[in-house]
């Protein structure tokens, strides 16, 4: 089955390391990804302004994937994954919405396919590629102690059908375990990075990110592993702002899971975009190369 990939805005415009590492890792695990021909917003920021317009954007994303003859769509961004999932439910559960959306798509000769399977990187690697296959493909390390941050919108809310358990997500931890690293359990594991508040309350957004990183500092982990471009933006790109807002010195290496996996698959650091991370990833890399 052909797999299309929809990156969303944040990955295509700034979180290049996530994009590069996904593009490098997937072929090594036997998956070829087909890019959509157009860059498009999933509708997430539009949702607050006009819910129908957001639903239309998500439907258009799925229709573009269908036009490529893809049967499944990989969405590496948590917010995009949630927005598209909710749109899918609106379209399939509400005849009025479905008729309106189909009519608008038809004007561009596009078509909505209800059978399009949505994946996020985490459940795609864990379920579709398979944890065992990942384990077999990598050269695991020893002695690495990491924290995982799965983010909000791929695990909540459960009756929408999400990627992992809402209150006790384990898939990302298991995937980290597959590359030979130990993960710690911590009280703030499910706390939000605050990225959405960059739109309205910037300092509060940084306080939320900073509070979580401060707790991680006390745990003394070797790094934080994320799988969402918003979380990557907050914890990696904006770590200094977060530190300044909560008033502590933070030096926590933050990497995308696909970067970590790429290293364990023997892919060059530069190809995984590790030179783009703004947090001190060198510390983590030194520990890995020892």
| Residue ranges that bind other proteins, judged by CB under 8 A | 7, 9-10, 12-14, 16, 19-20, 35-41, 44-53, 56-57, 60, 82, 86, 89-90, 93, 100, 104, 107-108, 152-153, 156-158, 166-167, 190-192, 194, 196-201, 204, 207-208, 273, 275-276, 278
Residue with Cβ nearer other proteins (31 or 41): 41
The distance of closest approach from Cβ of residue 126 to other proteins in the complex, given in angstroms and rounded to an integer, is 21
> How many angstroms separate the CA atoms of 186 and 177, rounded?
16
The distance of closest approach from Cβ of residue 137 to other proteins in the complex, given in angstroms and rounded to an integer, is 24
Residue with Cβ nearer other proteins (178 or 208): 208
43 torsion bin: left (phi>0), alpha (psi -120 to 50), beta (else): left
Residue with Cβ nearer other proteins (107 or 132): 107
Residue with Cβ nearer other proteins (72 or 207): 207
Residue with Cβ nearer other proteins (67 or 219): 67
Cβ neighbours, 10 Å, residue 156: 15
The distance of closest approach from Cβ of residue 82 to other proteins in the complex, given in angstroms and rounded to an integer, is 8
Residue with Cβ nearer other proteins (96 or 249): 96
Q: Any idea of the CA torsion for 116, 121, 126, 127, to the nearest 10 degrees?
A: 0
The distance of closest approach from Cβ of residue 207 to other proteins in the complex, given in angstroms and rounded to an integer, is 6
Q: What are phi and psi of 162, to 5 degrees?
A: -115, 180
The distance of closest approach from Cβ of residue 43 to other proteins in the complex, given in angstroms and rounded to an integer, is 8
Tokens of 171: 């898939």
> How many angstroms separate the CA atoms of 187 and 264, rounded?
28
Q: What are phi and psi of 242, to 5 degrees?
A: -65, -45
- Cβ contacts of 163-171, under 8 Å, gap ≥ 24: 163/81, 163/120, 163/122, 163/123, 164/122, 164/123, 171/122, 171/123, 171/126
Q: Which of 262, 263, 277 is nearest to 229 (CA)?
A: 277
The distance of closest approach from Cβ of residue 22 to other proteins in the complex, given in angstroms and rounded to an integer, is 11
The distance of closest approach from Cβ of residue 56 to other proteins in the complex, given in angstroms and rounded to an integer, is 4
Residue with Cβ nearer other proteins (30 or 37): 37
Q: Which of 21, 13, 16 is nearest to 257 (CA)?
A: 21
Inter-CA distances, 131 with 184, 206, 224, 258, Å: 19, 34, 20, 14
């Amino acid at each position: 089955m052909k797999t299309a990939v929809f990156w969303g805005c944040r990955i295509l415009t700034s979180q290049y390391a996530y994009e590069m590492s996904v593009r490098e890792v997937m072929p090594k695990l036997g998956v070829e990804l087909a890019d959509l021909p157009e860059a498009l917003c999933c509708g997430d920021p539009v949702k607050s302004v006009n819910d129908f317009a957001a639903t239309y954007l998500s439907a258009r994303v799925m229709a573009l994937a269908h036009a490529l003859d893809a049967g499944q769509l990989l969405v590496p961004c948590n917010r995009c994954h949630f927005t598209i999932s909710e749109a899918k439910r609106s379209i399939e559960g509400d005849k009025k919405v479905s008729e309106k959306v189909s009519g608008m798509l038809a004007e561009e000769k596009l078509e909505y396919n209800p059978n399009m399977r949505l994946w996020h990187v985490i459940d795609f690697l864990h379920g579709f590629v398979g944890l065992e296959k990942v384990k077999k493909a990598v050269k695991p390390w020893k002695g690495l102690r990491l924290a995982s941050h799965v983010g909000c919108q791929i695990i909540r809310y459960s009756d929408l059908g999400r990627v992992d358990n809402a209150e006790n997500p384990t898939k990302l931890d298991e995937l980290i375990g597959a590359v030979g690293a130990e993960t710690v359990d911590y009280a703030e594991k499910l706390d939000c990075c605050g990225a959405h508040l960059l739109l309205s309350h910037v300092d509060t957004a940084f306080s939320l990110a900073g509070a979580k990183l401060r707790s991680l500092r006390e745990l003394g982990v070797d790094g934080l592993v994320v799988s969402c471009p918003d979380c990557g933006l907050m914890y990696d790109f904006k770590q200094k702002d977060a530190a300044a807002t909560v008033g502590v010195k933070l030096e926590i290496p933050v990497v995308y899971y696909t970067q970590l996996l790429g290293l364990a698959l023997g892919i060059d650091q530069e190809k995984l975009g590790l030179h783009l991370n703004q947090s001190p990833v060198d510390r983590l890399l030194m520990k890995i190369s020892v």
